[in-house]
């Protein structure tokens, strides 16, 4: 079936046009066209674009056509399925185009998984049950992976910060770098820059070594 979406305005939607929480307009499906049911056509398009996370009307119309195809039952688009999908995407609240597309895929995969679940419940033959079960398992895993991908995308800007406390006793010196201690020898990694405390420790060790050698010579 070929459908054409009624378009009223082709200008992009800006952030200032987006309103607060509001009920998404219903989408009416006709034989050869798709219409947004709202008293104000412009407001209806803005609300629907906001629900789908679309940045402009071209993106909104493209996503809507794809969702209509994914809502099909028995080769015919279903308004109830479409309304459910739009409502679910709105609850996910996509913040950019990546999230909008991922949310659309998530609801589409969910719809396919539910169809498989229905077929599994209505299938008696073991071979058919095994086939449908495999398909349902793959769809369920895909949905779980999509949820993880959405979470990773939303947390991609987070930066981990590690704070460590260092206590130095009176007269002590702090060494910056990775330090390995063996018996009476303390050495820093060659790739780590030595701080003033490390240089001072080496000098103190050399002076102590010289004093010990002097005492041994005197005793001899």
In this predicted structure, which of 16-20, 93-97, 211-215 has the lowest mean pLDDT?
16-20
Q: Are 179 and 186 in contact (CB under 8 A)?
A: yes
Q: Are 99 and 154 in contact (CB under 8 A)?
A: yes
pLDDT tens, residue by residue, 182-198: 444 444 455 544 455 54
Q: Are 92 and 106 in contact (CB under 8 A)?
A: yes
The predicted pLDDT at position 14 comes to 39
pLDDT tens, residue by residue, 151-164: 999 998 665 555 55
- The first and second tokens of residue 104, run together, are 């659309």
Query: What's the first-to-final CA gap in the chain, in angstroms?
Result: 109
pLDDT tens, residue by residue, 12-70: 443 434 444 567 789 999 988 899 999 998 999 999 999 999 999 999 999 999 999 99
């Amino acid at each position: 079936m070929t459908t054409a979406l009624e378009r009223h305005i082709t200008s992009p939607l800006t952030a200032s046009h987006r309103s607060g929480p509001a009920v998404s307009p219903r989408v009416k499906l006709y034989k050869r066209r798709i219409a947004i049911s709202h008293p104000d056509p412009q407001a209806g398009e803005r609300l629907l674009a906001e629900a789908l996370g679309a940045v402009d009307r071209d993106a909104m119309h493209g996503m809507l056509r794809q969702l209509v195809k994914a809502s099909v039952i028995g080769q015919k688009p279903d308004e109830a399925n479409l309304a459910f999908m739009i409502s679910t995407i709105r609850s996910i609240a996509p913040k950019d185009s990546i999230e909008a597309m991922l949310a659309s895929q998530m609801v589409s995969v969910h719809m396919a998984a539910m169809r498989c679940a229905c077929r599994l419940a209505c299938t008696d033959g073991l071979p058919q049950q095994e086939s449908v079960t495999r398909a349902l398992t793959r769809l369920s895993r895909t949905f779980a992976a999509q949820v993880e991908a959405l979470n990773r995308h939303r947390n991609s800007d987070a930066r981990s910060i590690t704070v460590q406390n260092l206590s130095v006793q009176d007269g002590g010196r702090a060494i910056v770098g990775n330090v390995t201690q063996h018996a009476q020898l303390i050495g820093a990694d060659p790739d780590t820059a030595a701080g003033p405390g490390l240089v001072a420790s080496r000098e103190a060790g050399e002076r102590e070594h010289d004093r010990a050698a002097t005492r041994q010579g005197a005793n001899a």
